């Protein structure tokens, strides 16, 4: 039966051999990929997946104008201490409290 040190030495020798074989095979694979890319006139952009974020853009019918962008709402409430504002939509901020009338911005 082999000793621990002998097995470790065999493992290291196999790992070195694996690294050498992989390096030579990878070089050949890269060369094949380059040859196929040249043959089919492909670029890296054709092969690499495109990173997408968020929802895809809405596809409208041909000839229709693009959807109008939503404009920002004007604030209805303001905290006099910090100057923070709230439009009245979404979750109410904590500084608003129960009496909203005292934070209401006068309409001009």
Give the model confidence (pLDDT) of 47-63 as tens digits: 887 777 776 666 666 65
Number of domains in the chain: 2
User: In terms of pTM, does the model score above 0.95?
Assistant: no
| Sequence-separated (6 or more) residues with CB below 8 Å from residue 70 | none
Q: Is residue 18 part of a domain?
A: yes
Radius of gyration over every alpha carbon of the chain, rounded to an integer in angstroms: 33
pLDDT tens digits, one per residue of 27-36: 999 999 999 9
Which residues span the domain enclosing 108? 72-108
Q: Is residue 8 part of a domain?
A: yes
């Amino acid at each position: 039966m082999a000793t621990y040190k002998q097995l470790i030495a065999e493992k290291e020798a196999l790992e070195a051999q694996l690294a050498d074989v992989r390096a030579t095979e990878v070089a050949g694979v890269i060369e094949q990929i380059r040859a196929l890319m040249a043959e089919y006139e492909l670029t890296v952009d054709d092969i690499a997946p495109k990173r997408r974020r968020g929802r895809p853009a809405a596809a409208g019918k041909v000839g229709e104008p693009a959807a109008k962008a939503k404009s920002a709402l004007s604030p209805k409430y303001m905290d006099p201490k910090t100057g923070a504002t709230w439009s009245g939509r979404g979750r109410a901020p904590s500084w608003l409290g129960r009496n909203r009338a005292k934070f209401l911005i006068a309409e001009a």
